[in-house]
Amino acid sequence: LYTRNGSFNIDEEGYLKLEGAGRVQGEFGEIYVGSDKFGFSEDGSIIIEGEAVDRIAVYDFEDYNSLNKYREGLFISDAEPELLDYPVIANKTIERSNINVTEELTGLISSQRALQTAAQALKIYDMTDDKAVSEISKIV
């Protein structure tokens, strides 16, 4: 499983986990932290008592279309990912959507109104066309 969700917890055995997905993988396997007295460096290293003990395994995919949604925020892929040598981890931050819902809803409403206006114009052209055909047939 792959995710961009960095909201980790510690399980009852002291391993770093992602709720609903399982234990977080490091370069040496599952990441054991023991307690909540640990931190991350910018490159994803797990720091306990000032010493790097492991590093979060951060992968990239050549083709993002190879990722298939598994569950909310989780992906699976048959493609072979590439382990990044120099990932950048933002500690104590959670990535949020880059979509402004208000702007998107406003744009959707505006598009819907434009569509309704165009449909009304087509209806008027159709009625005019029908009237023209009717009038021409009366003359002939």
Please report, for the chain, the start and end positions of each structural domain, with discontinuous segments joined by +.
2-83, 99-140
Q: What is the pTM of this model?
A: 0.58
d(CA 116, CA 111): 9
pLDDT, tens digit, 9 for 90 and up, residues 67-97: 888 877 788 888 888 888 888 877 777 777 7
Highest mean pLDDT among 4-8, 14-18, 95-99 belongs to 14-18
Contact 10, 79 (CB under 8 A): no
Q: Are 29 and 118 within 8 A, CB to CB?
A: no
Please state, in angstroms and rounded to a whole number, the distance separating the CA atoms of residues 138 and 140: 6
The secondary element (H helix, E strand) that includes residue 107 is: helix 101-139
